[in-house]
Structure 1
Amino acid sequence: MKDTHDLDVLIVGAGVSGIGAACHLVREGTGKSFAILERRAAVGGTWDLFTYPGIRSDSDMLTFGYNFRPWAGTKVLADGPSIKKYVADTADEYGVTEHIRFGRRVVKASWSTEAGRWTVEVDTQDPGCGRETYTSRFLVGATGYYDYDSGYRPAFPGEEDFRGQVVHPQFWPEDLDHAGKRVVIIGSGATAITLVPAMATGAGAAEHVTMLQRSPSYVMPVPETDPVASPLARLRVPQRVIYRSGRIRNILLQQAVYKLCRAQPALARRLLLAGVRAQVGPDVDMVHFTPSYDPWDERLCVVPNGDLFRVLRRGEASIVTDHIERFTATGIRLKSGEEIPADIVVSATGLQIQIAGGAEIEVDGVPVDTRERMLYKGVLMEGVPNSMFVIGYTNASWTLKADLASEYFCRLVKHMDAHGHDQVVPVADADDRTDVSVMGDSMRAGYIQRGDAVMPRQGKRMPWRIRNDYFRDAPALRRGAIEDPVLKFSVTESTAAPAAAAV
């Protein structure tokens, strides 16, 4: 059975980006009808998918929260359930929840220049519904860039011999009981660093947790509560004032750390290692925290309130830096000859990347290869009309750029209405394109390298360059001129014809 729905704006994804985009449509008075298509059964996106122990943000909440709705907590980093509730409450507050169609997975989005509309094919989870068809004037891709169906999961020799359980954090079993078990966590990124203290402490603590890494990551201690926001809250300073001032302060701090790491990597390295050395104590070998690459070649991992260092000092957890030779029946044998006993192995080995939730995109019957397209101002895809693809910052909080992208999109929509335009498409010269993805060429993280096969490219110059700089992007996207020779505005022929006939 097929069902057709026609809207002004169709948003794909009800996570942080999609809910934010919908709220901006409402807040900024666009007057557009819209719906959000969400494949899962709840709001939250990443924060609904990932449920592993200790799941939390790796950006501070004063910058990860929406610019229009203050985050009320005092913790620097928030746990996953709290973030999911924040997103859901935001959707409720702005009347967005009623526009969400859950259990809808977009499989194909096709643009017709003649009709001036997107036709979107959707698989549903409702019994008897089968496939639905939606049409819309605008399409917003707000699915992030994680592949929800598969994490990165390398095959390990001898894994079939292991008598314990192997799990991936992206698909955490609800009934997994690690209490009193020997746990090995493979990985050194944010997920592994979060899992270690979460599984090593509390009522259901493991007997011992070993973090097994091929190479270390840079880690940066952060306080559990914001050292400025918390005292201001006790003084009853209005929450909005605390939020806005703290947001600017933390954006400046993020940029200062990032720019120091890029401009003075040796100094940044000394400072980061000194911060760790002061926390881990004399019994933990610093070799496990000393990467071979420069700071911010991969994203810095943050440790709130020293939780990782604390379990290492107490012997509840340990770190091993080595390569896996093979799994055995009772654990993992390393190339050094050591064997780590394990009852549970967690493969925190990373993520797979995809664009538009894996949906096929066509323009006038021609498939779009996202790797061969650029993003105009990091928002509009080259050669793809009436669309926005939300990709947040890699060197700062995702939501900072997502908010700016949605604000720009609303400005664009209102500009088109005011000037009688039906369609807009960014057009670039072929020689503008570089082989550098929108994720940048300086970060070595595995998921970024794997994502190079699908991520859009950058250009040689603005507006095709990705600056990853909030204080430069904000004025350009909020106040910069909409009219641009790169943007081609037009009227759909089917709507222009009657007007011409009347003349």
Structure 2
Amino acid sequence: MGFEGTRRSEEPDIDVAIIGAGLSGIGMAAHMQMLCPDRSYALFERRPQLGGTWDLFRYPGVRSDSDMHTLGFIFEPWKHEKSIADGPAILEYLNRIVDERRIRQHIRFETKVVSANWESAHAWWVITTEAADGQRSRTTARFLYLGSGYYDYDTPYDPAIPGREDFAGTIIHPQFWPEDVDYTGKRVVVIGSGATAVTIVPAMAQKAAHVTMLQRTPTWYAIRPARDAIANTLRKFLPEKLAYRITRFKNVFMQDMVFKRARNEPQKVKDFLTKKLQEALGPKYDPATFTPPYNPWEQRLCLVPDGDLFKAMQAGKADIVTDHIERIDAAGIQLKSGKRLDCDVIVTATGLALAMAGKIALGMDGQPVRMNERWYYKGCMYSNLPNLAQVFGYLNASWTLRADIDADFVCRLLNHMKTVGADSATPVLTDESALEADTPLDLSSGYIQRGLAIQPKNAKEMPWRLNQDYLFDRKYLKENPLDDGIMRFAKAAGAVPAKSGEVVERAE
């Protein structure tokens, strides 16, 4: 039903405030231009450049750990020969999209969102921002779209390792890589065994005297070519968009198949991954170093494009040590086994710290909103929280797959709100006791487990769920009605009756 015969006494500054100009934010802006061209929007980006993660991370070898045919957007083909792309190539892709689609003029750089408060009377968000010079400003927006990522940009996870203040060399966290560091000919220890460590080790090994990856527990590795031969062949014979669509479908299907096979038949996947490692390392393969105490996809698989880590090991430029740290001293790292790793540079690739909603102080009518008290709704909105959506990408597939379907869903929701004359859309949950809880992030990785306490609640069944199945989610969000009996559409409490025959036009 519509809300006819009323008009707003005032309108917000913009229709949609998009927080973050990384993959999620740029994707939403592009979707709005395609699906909601009559709506105004702005992207609020705290950094001086766009790109989010891909601008922040500057460590050696920084690259995607997903293929760019699924980490790229559904609407914009990935044109590079390499499917596993480095950071600069991803930034080039994003900058091209922003310029070709004239999104850049909507980005407010060096503008940090400090707080956002929902005002029920006006049915809008009051957003407080802080510029680089500390000046604060206020913007009102009908809808808040959080594309601010999932981790803390300011503070990574950096465990308190005893003795680090005694080290005579250089200690670096990958999240804040210094531009002037020179490790040529030096001995390097990289602490950690996740995707960042696996990327840094072979990249640093090209210049360093030697690089050791120090791990507490082994990791499951997936070796694949950096170039997608099928994608590159299809591009030669088919129109670009069709070739991209076919490759994207192929890779989505493969991601889904591998994940489900790992969950249903873990031993077969273990055997397959182990065989590939043995082939890559030959006599250097050591079961103790490469056999994790968990099944594949209980933590995210570490991608090793072209087996570069293992080539560095074969060449004697890198090795992996499995041990625990006793302490750091002036010359290196003392291990609990009694062994030592003397070094000149220590890289603490110890992981990320999760953050919700970009650490923005959210409120409703002046009362704080605690996200861990809300339930996910269709993987992108939250119980009893109006006009707000957030992108939290897939853990078992590419981040952008979720960003694409979330942006499409929110654009259709905005259009439906316009059709029925509503100012707000709220997923209403009246009785949460009827829901059966499930973990929102079903991986045992350290950064996931450390961040569970701040996560919203997750139910076993849709719609109150953040799901980890892209193929299901894409179909569900398309086919499940927007007006599903849960979403409540309403007019602002401050709306005033329109005079008979009056037509109110909105100034853009």
TM-score band by shorter chain is: over 0.9
State which of 82, 85, 94 in structure 1 corresponds to 2:92: 85
Give the equivalent residue in structure 2 for 1:101.
108
Counterpart of 2:319 in structure 1 is: 318
Residue type of the alignment partner of 2:204: M
Residue pair 1:30, 1:410 contacting (<8 A) in 2 also: no
The whole-number CA distance in structure 2 between the counterparts of 1:497 and 1:349 is 58
Equivalent residue pairs, number: 491
Q: How many angstroms apart in 2 are the aligned matches of 1:30 and 1:454?
A: 35
Matched, 1:162 2:167: yes
1:454 counterpart residue number: 454
- Superposition map of 1:153-302 within 5 A: 153-201=158-206, 205-233=207-235, 235-302=236-303
**Letter matched to residue 403 of structure 1:** D
Moved more, 317-326 or 425-434: 425-434
Match of 1:394 in 2: 395
- Corresponding position of 2:484: 484
Q: Equivalences for 1:289-368 in 2 at 5 Å?
A: 289-368=290-369
Q: Secondary structure at the match of 1:268?
A: helix
- 2:453 and 2:468 map into 1 onto residues whose CA distance is 21
**Letter of the 1:336 counterpart:** S
**Per-residue deviation, 1:461:** 2.1
Report the 3-state secondary structure (helix = DSSP H, G, I; strand = E; otherwise coil) of the residue aligned with 1:493: coil
Pair 1:499–1:472, CA change in 2 (3 A): farther
Q: What is residue 154 of structure 2 aligned with on the other side?
A: 149
Q: CA 1:350–1:432 in 2, change beyond 3 Å: closer, same or farther?
A: farther
Partner Cα separation in structure 2 for residue 484 and residue 314 of structure 1? 60
What's the CA shift for 1:232? 2.5
Map of 1:110 onto structure 2: 117
Greater Cα shift, 83-92 or 215-224? 83-92
Provide closer, same or farther for how the CA distance between residues 279 and 238 of structure 1 changes in structure 2, counting only shifts above 3 A: same
Q: The residue matched to 1:494 in structure 2 has which SS?
A: coil
Deviation at 1:455, TM superposition (A): 1.5
Is the contact between residue 332 and residue 341 of structure 2 (CA under 8 Å) also seen in structure 1?
yes
Q: Distance in 2 between matches of 1:13 and 1:436?
A: 29
2:5 alignment partner in structure 1: none
| TM-score normalised over the length of structure 1 | 0.95
More deviation, 283-292/443-452 = 283-292
Aligned counterpart in structure 2 of residue 124 of structure 1, from 123, 131, 139: 131
| Native 8 Å contact 1:361 1:368 kept in 2 | yes
Question: How far has the Cα of 1:30 moved from its partner?
Answer: 4.2
Counterpart AA for 1:483: D
**Cα 1:6–1:311, aligned 2, differ >3 Å: closer, same or farther?**
same
Per the normalisation by structure 2, the TM-score is 0.94
In the alignment, structure 1 segments of 5+ residues that lack a partner are none
Residues 328-363 of structure 1 show CA distances to partners (whole Å, capped at 9, x for unaligned) of: 110101111110011000000000011121010001
1:132 and 1:497 map into 2 onto residues whose CA distance is: 31
In the alignment, what sits opposite 2:50?
A: 43
**Identity percentage of aligned residues:** 45
Matched, 1:135 2:140: yes
CA shift digits 1:292-318 (9 cap, x unpaired): 001111000011111001000111001
Q: Is the 8 A contact 2:12 2:124 kept in 1?
A: no
Could you tell me which residue of structure 2 aligns to residue 464 of structure 1? 464
Q: Is the 8 A contact 2:289 2:322 kept in 1?
A: yes
**Contact 1:427 1:487 (8 Å CA) reproduced:** yes
Distance 2:446 2:284 in 1: 30
Deviations 1:113-138 (CA, angstroms, capped at 9, x unpaired)? 1111100011111x4x6001110101
Aligned-partner Cα distance in 2 for 1:297–1:5:
45
- Change over 3 Å in CA distance of 1:434–1:81 after alignment to 2: farther
CA-CA distance at 1:475 after TM superposition: 2.0
Aligned-partner Cα distance in 2 for 1:242–1:14: 28
* CA distance in structure 2 between the aligned counterparts of 1:228 and 1:68, rounded to whole angstroms: 20
- Does 274-283 or 431-440 show the bigger shift? 431-440
* Counterpart amino acid of residue 451 in structure 1: G
CA displacement at 1:31 relative to structure 2: 1.1
Alpha-carbon shift at residue 240 of structure 1 (Å): 1.2
The CA distance in 1 between the partners of 2:198 and 2:387, in whole Å, is 41
Shift in Å at residue 497 of structure 1? 3.9
- 8 Å CA contact retained: 2:437, 2:460: no
Equivalent in the alignment of 2:506: none
1:452 is paired with a residue of what secondary structure?
Answer: helix
8 Å Cα contact 1:30-1:413 kept in structure 2: no
Shift of 1:496: 4.7
Distance between the aligned counterparts of 1:432 and 1:197, measured in 2? 51
Over aligned residue pairs, what C-alpha RMSD do you find?
1.6
SS at match of 2:144: strand
Deviation, 1:466, is 2.7
Residues 124-162 of structure 1: CA distance to partner in whole angstroms, max 9, x if unpaired?
11x4x6001110101101101110001100011111111
* Displacement after TM superposition at 1:465 (Å): 2.4
Report how far residue 74 of structure 1 moved.
Answer: 2.1
- The answer on whether the counterparts of 2:67 and 2:83 sit within 8 Å (CA) in structure 1 is yes
Give the AA of the match of 2:347. V
Q: 1:35 to 1:437 in 2, by over 3 A?
A: farther
Higher relative contact order (CA 8 A, sep 6+): 2
2-side partners of 1:165 and 1:177: how far apart?
Answer: 10
Q: SS state of the match for residue 224, structure 1?
A: coil
1:297 and 1:270 map into 2 onto residues whose CA distance is 16
Where do residues 1-20 of structure 1 align in structure 2 (5 Å cutoff)? 6-20=13-27
Once the two structures are TM-superposed, the CA of residue 391 in structure 1 deviates from its matched residue by 1.0
C-alpha displacement at 1:500, in angstroms? Answer: 10
Question: For 2:152, what is the secondary structure of its paired residue?
Answer: strand
